[in-house]
Amino acid sequence: MSEFWLISAPGDKENLQALERMNTVTSKSNLSYNTKFAIPDFKVGTLDSLVGLSDELGKLDTFAESLIKRMAQSVVEVMEDSKGKVQENLLANGVDLTSFVTHFEWDMAKYPAKQPLVNVVDTLAKQLAQIESDLKSRTAAYSALKATLENLEKKSTGNLFTRTLSDIVSKEDFVLDSEYLVTLLVIVPKPSYAQWRKTYESLSDMVVPRSTKLIAEDNEGGLFTVTLFRKVIDDFKIKAKENKFTVREFFYDEKEIKREREEMTRLLSDKKQQYGPLLRWLKVNFSEAFVAWIHIKALRVFVESVLRYGLPVNFQAVLLQPHKKSATKRLREVLNSVFRHLDEVAAASLLDASVEIPGLQLSNQDYFPYVYFHLDLGLLD
């Protein structure tokens, strides 16, 4: 499972024994894999400042999770032809996300624990804000390029009524630079090919004999050329429509056709050139954002533990990875039972058989006798 529970309990003898009981029960019942989650000692400041930080960290936590999910989705979109390799590009400090979380160590160089907590939070907030800003600009440019390319490609894949004809016609198909003659393109249903060849010369006066040629086909019909005098174009169109032949409006412009082809080549080249740098940026900054997110989780545990258990700072944080979704209800009951002494009233109500136990729908706002935060690494679900 990609789900983790991050909890803490006071670090006194009684609660350390409770943690041992929790580890024993969850191990014997195969409910979860548990590891200690090391959090450094920070400068606490005042309790009032911690209350403010609690609210700020909650918002920053939500923002960070949203950001890394958007970055993960961007990797999927950029790697459109290699989606099976997406996960190997979503790493944190070079390791898979589960390994990073289960072996988490606070980065003292990047986020010095000796600084006031408010400074650490500010550093994280500014880092994530900059990553989001860069993400928007970089992906916007790539998405615009991709959309333009897709629109051009769509024009080349529609039916004969809608698709561009610049890639299937040639100069030799047309009578050009004539004052009197013009070549039209006519879409003829497949069952009507014989009728077209038999009647096209008589649809109007002044149609050049033996001037028709099939130059393209799709599932429904074919694209034929026909050459006639300019003065009978309107009459020919009317007669063609009466016979269920469709004159496709098209003017052969060699310069425009060349421009379209060069535009497609340029866009394909630009996309290829942007692909590598963008993917590398996403990989590096996804890692940065994910690492920052887990540090935010650690800060939340620290702040909430101090607010819940008081001073001096003395608590133990533990990371639990439930083995399967069907075991989460039982795991929650075990935790509430083991730590019920932390808040007898709350724990009693949670263990009351008449009260529904939340199970999978638990959120950070649900109250438990211990500090609890949820962590879901299923970023592409």
**Which residues, other chains included, contact 142 with Cβ-Cβ below 8 Å and sequence gap of 6+?**
78, 271, 274, 278
Q: What is the pLDDT of residue 124?
A: 98
More reliable by pLDDT, 134 or 343: 134
Q: Which of 36-45, 54-63, 76-85, 320-329 has the lowest mean pLDDT?
A: 76-85
Mean pLDDT of all residues in 197-211: 96
Q: What is the pLDDT of residue 354?
A: 37
Distances (CA, A) of 4 to 34, 93, 308: 10, 19, 21
SS3 category, 232 = helix
Q: Which of 204-208, 282-286, 362-366 has the lowest mean pLDDT?
A: 362-366
Q: What is the pLDDT of residue 344?
A: 64
| Nearest Cα residue to 375 out of 310, 317, 305 | 317
Q: Using CA atoms, how far apart are residues 310 and 316, in angstroms rounded to an integer?
A: 13
Q: Tens digit of pLDDT for each residue in 255-290?
A: 888 888 888 889 888 888 888 899 999 999 999 999
Q: DSSP code of 95? A: B
> Average model confidence (pLDDT) for the chain?
89
Residue 355 has pLDDT above 60, yes or no: no
Q: What is the pLDDT of residue 360?
A: 31
More reliable by pLDDT, 355 or 87: 87
Residue reference for tokens 């209800």:
329
More reliable by pLDDT, 182 or 271: 182
Residue 347 has pLDDT above 60, yes or no: no
What one-letter code names the amino acid at 62?
Answer: T
Contact indicator for 306, 313 with CB cutoff of 8 Å: yes
Q: Tens digit of pLDDT for each residue in 294-309?
A: 999 999 999 999 999 9
Q: Which of 53-57, 346-350, 366-370 has the lowest mean pLDDT?
A: 346-350
Question: What is the band of 356 on the pLDDT scale with cuts at 50, 70, 90?
Answer: very low
Q: Which residues of 34-58 are buried (b: 16+ CB within 10 A; e: fewer)?
A: beebebeebebeeeeebeebeebbb
Q: Tens digit of pLDDT for each residue in 215-240?
A: 999 999 999 999 999 999 999 999 99
Q: Using CA atoms, how far apart are residues 293 and 71, in angstroms rounded to an integer?
A: 13
Residue 107 has pLDDT above 90, yes or no: yes
Contact indicator for 85, 150 with CB cutoff of 8 Å: no
Kindly state the percentage of the chain with pLDDT values over 90: 65
Q: What is the pLDDT of residue 149?
A: 85
